[in-house]
């Protein structure tokens, strides 16, 4: 691990509009985000807190489709080809059109990898293989609630990255970084996978606490809340997003 923090920032494709989502993306990159996690809106994001749930609901109310989200991602990729983009969504959006077909379209849009929390690493409907066939990676999710034996199996499975959810429950509320957190992160990284640590990250203080144990800090709801607060003032939205990104990517 490194004391230098890489920020993976999360936003919802199309929220509140594609134009404002692109404004937020530019501000995130300007603020130091080195990786982008772009969520395809989903009608029942069970692990997401109220900020992301509301964002998804509002985007879907515009009849926003998966193809619209992929088009947004393609636009972002063309503007920032050096920034890895990871799709975050849920299994049904990937499974319904066919896992192989979905991964092919994602790769064509410029996606580097997939984060699908409800597809477990050892029963993923062929997602890992389909990602490999299309030059992407599957990033499985580890949770503190996993049995030690299962966590050890995941850590040793050879994934390039593992997303470590820092606590159980829904994201959005603030997460405390304590000895249990760092022990969990150490277990996730035992197999030499790079660890992405997220869930309730809102401050630079939390990033500094996580930096020795992760390869990237993931922050999402904090940015979605800022977008919601400033959605009627693009300039204010951009300033606030960039400032918060700089705070979290503080080292």
CA distance 40 to 61: 14
Catalytic: 122?
A: no
Alpha helices in the chain (DSSP H): 18-30, 50-60, 66-79, 91-95, 99-108, 127-133, 148-155, 179-188, 204-210, 221-229, 234-248
Catalytic: 133?
A: no
Q: Is 166 helix (H, G, I), strand (E, B) or coil?
A: coil
Alpha helices in 37-178 (DSSP H): 50-60, 66-79, 91-95, 99-108, 127-133, 148-155
Contact, 100 vs 130, CB < 8 A? Answer: yes
CA distance 5 to 153: 27
Q: Which entry of 48, 124, 215, 242 is annotated as an active-site residue?
A: 48
Q: Which entry of 37, 124, 215, 242 is annotated as an active-site residue?
A: 37
Give the residue numbers marked as catalytic. 37, 48
């Amino acid at each position: 691990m490194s004391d230098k923090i890489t920020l993976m920032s999360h936003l919802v494709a199309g929220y509140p509009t594609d134009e404002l989502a692109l404004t937020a993306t530019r501000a995130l990159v300007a603020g130091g985000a080195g990786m982008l996690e772009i969520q395809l809106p989903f009608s029942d994001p069970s692990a997401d807190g109220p900020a992301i749930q509301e964002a998804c609901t509002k985007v879907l109310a515009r009849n926003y489709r998966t193809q619209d989200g992929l088009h947004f991602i393609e636009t972002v990729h063309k503007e920032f080809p050096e920034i890895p983009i990871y799709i975050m969504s849920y299994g049904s959006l990937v499974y319904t059109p066919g896992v192989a077909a979905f991964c092919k379209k994602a790769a064509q849009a410029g996606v580097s990898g997939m984060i699908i929390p409800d597809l477990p690493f050892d029963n993923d409907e062929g997602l890992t293989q389909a990602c490999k066939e299309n030059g992407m990676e599957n990033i499985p999710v580890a949770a503190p609630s996993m049995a030690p034996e299962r966590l050890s199996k995941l850590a040793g499975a050879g994934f390039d990255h593992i997303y470590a959810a820092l606590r159980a429950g829904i994201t959005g509320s603030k997460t405390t970084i304590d000895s249990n957190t760092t022990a969990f992160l150490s277990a996730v990284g035992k197999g030499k996978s790079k660890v992405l640590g997220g869930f309730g990250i809102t401050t630079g203080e939390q990033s500094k606490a996580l930096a020795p144990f992760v390869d990237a800090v993931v922050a999402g709801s904090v940015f979605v809340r800022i977008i919601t607060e400033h959605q009627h003032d693009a300039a204010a939205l951009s300033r606030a997003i960039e400032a918060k990104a700089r705070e979290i990517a503080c080292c």
